[in-house]
Amino acid sequence: MNDTKKYKFTLNPLSTIILSPREQSCFLCNNKEMKKIKGEDGRFSYTDSIKFVYPFYQYGMYEEYEPSNAQYYIPGSSIKGAVGSSLISFDDIRVDGQNISLRNLYKLQNIRTDSAEEKPKLGIFFPKVAIETLDSGTELNGELFTGENPVAVLQDAQQRSTDKLKQLLKQINAILLKYEGESREIKEKDILCLMKSKLETLLREISSTDQNRYLIILGGYKGLNLSGVFPHEAAGAIYIDTENKLPHGLAWIRLE
């Protein structure tokens, strides 16, 4: 067995990341509490009917939703799960609360490709629920530990990410066939076309650059096609980061 070594890296989300502890119940909030929080901080983007908040990972236990006092972090085990290797481990990464925002979750529904008449609809998934997310464009510093070559481990992780994105693109292309011949502007069509273009650009960037950075897919609400690599076509919901027109959870790991 090789000696374990420590390596520094940066984590750069391309889209919002959702990491919420399953064992922790959501916070029940009333309108007065939510309006106070929303008025104090402009980072929050959600409907006014929110009653339930699913928090990002945070140290300690809280009886009430108090984002200003929360100590947020990304569990090292979550990054390890995204990389998908037992040969590497990660420390937790502390996250400044200024990089956490509360958002509604958007889901593309009615996406069966075997029905030409049924058009997909993009809408808020459970309007009374909001989820804390890590903002895209954030740069976080972390440490990983491995006795192997970290480049090889991260290259394998990136290849799996690439395969998953290709699955999602195949699903998006099948959905877009429903709109052939439509000349009018349709919100769902426009978003999917932009999402397709961005993913294709990202895949080209992965294959044509060697900048010591590797794409992983981190966190939840990614949709079935980004949860694994399947031998056959996988249907399932598509959750969309509507601000970035990308799936949730896309992030670069860059070795220093």
Per-residue pLDDT of the chain (256 residues; tens, 9 = 90+): 578 999 999 999 999 999 998 656 788 877 666 655 554 454 555 556 788 899 999 998 888 888 888 999 999 999 999 999 999 999 999 999 999 998 999 998 877 656 666 778 889 988 888 899 999 999 999 999 999 999 999 999 999 999 999 999 999 998 888 888 776 668 888 999 999 999 999 999 998 766 789 999 999 988 777 777 776 776 778 999 999 999 999 999 999 8
Tell me the C-alpha distance between 252 and 206, whole Å: 10
Contact by Cβ (8 Å): 241, 17: no
The CA distance from 194 to 226, in Å, is: 18
Domain extent for 149:
5-255
Please state whether beta strands 52-54 and 129-134 pair in parallel, antiparallel, or not at all (unpaired). Answer: parallel
* Mode of pairing for the β-strands spanning 58-59 and 250-255: unpaired
Question: Whole-structure pTM over 0.85, yes or no?
Answer: yes
If one counts the domains in the chain, the total is: 1
Q: What is the DSSP letter of 250?
A: E
What does the buried/exposed string (b/e) look like for 225-240 if buried means 16 or more CB atoms within 10 Å of the residue's CB?
A: bbeeeeeeebeeebbb
